[in-house]
């Protein structure tokens, strides 16, 4: 649930392909009831303020983030599953990396110089890959219903949340 002004929220509900096709998207109240059930009615009665949109989520990473005079930033360069809400943070990191690279350039170096832009790409590619790996693994963990997966989701993640070093990592 993403809070919006007033009493509105935006919902990103990540489900399996099978469940996605079974959701009652044609009946607004039935869909609201399904959302409320999934959230254990923690928000009470729900109603739609906009149409339901359904689309597949996928992880992507551009092969090349840069070309002479061009740099891809944010979701244009990489997209991760929204499960952990890290896509925007990766985009902000891209902007910070680009600013740092441009501020540190020689006065003889053109802004669009591929060698300069490659520094930006190197600074962000590994982090984007790592966040993509973590969100993919978390997604798999939440889609799996085995006892070990339930333990890791509940007790394991709670323990990690109480360990500052692990949480920071």
pLDDT at 164: 78
Mean pLDDT of 76-105: 89
For the chain, the residue count is 169
Record the pTM.
0.67
Sign of CA dihedral 106, 112, 117, 120: positive
Q: What is the mean pLDDT of the chain?
A: 86
Is 22 a residue whose pLDDT tops 90?
Answer: no
CA angle 22, 27, 28 (to 5 degrees): 110
In this predicted model, which residue has the larger pLDDT, 107 or 14?
Answer: 107
């Amino acid at each position: 649930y993403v809070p919006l002004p007033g009493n509105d929220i935006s919902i990103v509900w990540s489900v399996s392909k099978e469940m996605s096709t079974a959701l009652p998207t044609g009946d607004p109240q039935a869909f609201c009831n399904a959302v409320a059930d999934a959230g254990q009615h923690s928000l009470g009665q729900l109603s739609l303020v906009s149409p339901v949109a359904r689309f597949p989520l996928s992880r992507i990473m551009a092969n090349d983030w840069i070309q002479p005079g061009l740099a891809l930033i944010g979701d244009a360069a990489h997209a991760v599953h929204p499960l952990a809400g890290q896509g925007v943070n990766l985009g902000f990191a891209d902007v910070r990396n680009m600013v740092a690279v441009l501020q540190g350039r020689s006065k003889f170096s053109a802004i669009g110089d591929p060698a300069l832009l490659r520094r930006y790409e190197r600074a962000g590619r590994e982090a984007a890959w790592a966040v993509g790996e973590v969100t993919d693994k978390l997604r798999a963990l939440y889609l799996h219903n085995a006892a070990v997966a339930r333990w890791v989701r509940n007790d394991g993640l709670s323990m990690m949340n109480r360990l500052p070093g692990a949480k920071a990592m």
